[in-house]
Homo-oligomer: A and B are copies of this chain.
């Protein structure tokens, strides 16, 4: 569904959000550890998220990544996916046709629209805050 980069990105952002709600900044090392992701690769992804203003990075000793508390409930999964994978989740034909639309559709065009709208809707309505719920109490997990 998503690229590996995007999966790591969502997990990383979610963990940063969780820690930010506790008023804590998190190092790359901890993020990678707590999301079971490759450190250096995660670093690249966090650079992208930082450039896209989804997370803030602070260099130097006691630096790390954080998200302003007031932003945790406004940032949607769709923003993270867009920052990393672009809009190919939305546009792009299910059968790979370069052009596929209502006027000249592929055989599964209408059916795919339904599924993609579901995905789109989910991504656009799920906030980082919502992602963090359950993590603290062990109802949901970011690794294993």
Contact = CB atoms under 8 A, between A and B. Distances in A.
A72 B2 CA distance: 32
B111 A143 contact: no
A105 B10 contact: no
Interface in A88-118: 94-100, 104-109, 111-112, 114-115, 118
Interface residues of A, number: 42
Contact of A106 (B105, B108, B126, B140): B140
A10 B140 CA distance: 36
How many copies make up the complex? 2
Interface in A57-97: 77, 94-97
A87 to B, nearest CB: 14
Interface string A108-139: 11011011001100100010001111110001
Given A97-B142, A98-B144, A106-B142, 20 more contacts: A1-B112, A4-B96, A8-B96, A77-B108, A97-B141, A97-B143, A105-B139, A105-B140, A106-B140, A106-B141, A107-B131, A107-B134, A107-B135, A108-B122, A108-B126, A108-B131, A111-B122, A115-B118, A115-B119, A118-B118
